Amino acid sequence: MGARKASAEHLVKVSKRNGKIDEEDVIYCSVSPIRMSVLQQLSKRDDSISLVELSKMVREGKSKVAFHCNGLKERLLIDGKKVAHQLYYRITEKGRRSLQMCEEKSRNER
């Protein structure tokens, strides 16, 4: 059973890497104000933003922001890189499209 679970988790990760936006990506972003805020802040800049700076921008602790960034990164909505001892993030094209869909969905629900 352990092998089946590992295989299923691998398939989920592979499907998230295909670059296509699905309803799960939109829901994942829209249910968390922190994730939405991270995407919104990253979408305002073309360059990468450090975790420290991003945490200040979204007014949350570094560990909480890093946790949400890892989920966004796993879904290919943001890219992350480590330079020296700092983490830097930037939004991907898939992330921009997902953010746009989340914002449109939010406007339509009002």
Confidence of residue 18 (pLDDT cuts 50, 70, 90): low
**Of 41 and 11, the one with more pLDDT:** 41
Which class is domain 21-109?
Answer: mainly alpha
Report the distance separating Cα 100 and Cα 29, nearest Å. 11
| Domain spans in the chain, listed from the N-terminal domain onward | 21-109
pTM over 0.85: no
| pLDDT at position 108 over 50 | yes
Q: What is the dihedral of CA 73, 76, 78, 83, to 10 degrees?
A: 60
Sign of CA dihedral 20, 27, 15, 76: positive
pLDDT in tens, 35-92: 999 999 999 998 999 999 999 999 999 999 999 999 999 999 999 999 999 999 999 9
Place of tokens 């829209």: 30
Q: What count of Cα atoms within 13 Å lies in the side-chain half-sphere of residue 5? A: 2
